[in-house]
Amino acid sequence: MNIISSPTIQTKRVRPTISKSLLYILCIILAIVFLFPITWSIITSFKPPAEAAAIPPTGLPSYISWENYQKFNGFGDGAGRYLFNSVSVAIMTVAGTVILSTLAGYGFSRFDFPVKNLLFLMILTTLMIPFQMILTPLFLILGALGLQNTLPGLALVYITFQLPFGVFIMRNSFDTVPRELEEAALLDGCSSVSLLYRVMLPIVLPGVITAGIYAFLNSWNEFLAALIFMNHQNMFTFPILLNSVNYGLYGAVDWGALQAGVTISILPSILIFLLFQRYYMQGLTGGSVKA
């Protein structure tokens, strides 16, 4: 994949008037500004509750304490229940998005069929209409299907929102696979399905990973749709639980416990991003640079 073409050397010599160390100091100050809120939240979550609630806030914790996490676990049906909800929805969303996008990407890249361009356009158009605009009828459709307040129901909605991006990425990925490879496999008597699974999937794997990461992050982080479709307390996803804690649903706001929840909520996103950074960035540039 030749996404970002050449190494980014702009000029060999940095202009002598701007000293390199000044630039580094600027970079470091900015890094502190960007990382401070997250770091401070994580540190506070490990403070003993009395220190986490101190007015004004104290500095570093006097010792590492898990009490905020234990208190957080006491909200509602327990953190485990909400983690289960969020993780299940995320897994279903990733699996559904990856499977549907791969199949559709293969179909759009490799076959000719009636109304093909119309269907491709239809899927891409949904990218231009914000999902916030269709939540009202979606609420009724999920209700009619008996899917309100169910984990698969929310996952179905998330998969649909992910499809335009996923199908686009996968169509582009399949476009890069040399046709000769496919022809050879077909001559050997490979069926369409096994051709996809055994010959092409290994080649388009980066696209699959990219589609999967975006599906995970969007499902894990999404707030508004989950707020509307999951209104039974035991069906909340993690972001909705956090909001309820802040709303005082479980008594006066316990700031230490809330930061324990925030930490649990943001760490998976950051971890997934750091692990798969290259694939994530390919997703960002995928729109402008065709693979």
Partner 1 sequence: MIETSGTSTEAMLTAQPRSRNRTIRRHTGLLFVLPAVTFTTIFFILPLLMTIWMSLHNWPLLGQSTFIGFENYSSLTSDRQFWSSLGFTIRYTLLITPPIFVLAFVLALLVNLPLRWIGIFRTAYFIPVVIGLGASSLLWVWLLNDRVGAINTLLRQANIIEGSLIWLGSIDTAIFAIIVSVTWKTVGFTMVLLLTGMQAIPQEIYQAAMVDGASFLGRLRFITLPLLRSTIALALVLSVIGSFLAFDQFYIMTRGGPRNQTITAVYWIFNNSFTYFKMGYGSALSIVLLGILVILSMLQLRLLRRDVG
Q: Which of residues 154-193 bind partner 1 (CB under 8 A)?
A: 156-157, 159-160, 163, 167, 175, 179, 186, 192
Per-residue tokens: 4:
């970002």
8 Å CB contact between 61 and 68: no
Alpha carbon distance 262, 216 (integer Å): 17
Q: Is the sign of the CA dihedral 103, 107, 108, 113 positive or negative?
A: negative
User: Nearest approach, Cβ of 192 to partner 1 (angstroms)?
Assistant: 5
Residues 238-257 touching partner 1, rule: CB under 8 A, are: 239, 242-243, 246, 255
In the bound state with partner 1, the residue whose beta carbon lies nearer, of 205 and 224, is: 224
Our CB check for partner 1 shows the closer of 122 and 249 to be 122
Task: Find the binding residues for partner 1 in span 188-227 (CB under 8 A).
Answer: 192, 217, 220-224, 227
CA angle 242, 246, 251 (to 5 degrees): 110
How far is the C-alpha of 237 from the C-alpha of 87, rounded, in Å?
9
- Judged by CB under 8 A, the chain residues 64 through 93 that form the site for partner 1 are none
Number of residues that bind partner 1 (CB under 8 A): 105
Closest by Cα among 227, 229, 257, 279 to 49: 257
H or E element at residue 151:
helix 151-175
| 186/205 with CB nearer partner 1 | 186
- Residue 54 vs 203, nearer CB to partner 1: 54
29-58: contacts with partner 1 (CB under 8 A): 30-31, 33-35, 37-38, 40-41, 52-57
Task: Answer for the pair 180, 124: CB distance below 8 angstroms, yes or no.
Answer: no
Contact with partner 1 (CB under 8 A): which of 16, 80, 111, 248? 111
Nearest approach, Cβ of residue 41 and partner 1 (Å):
5
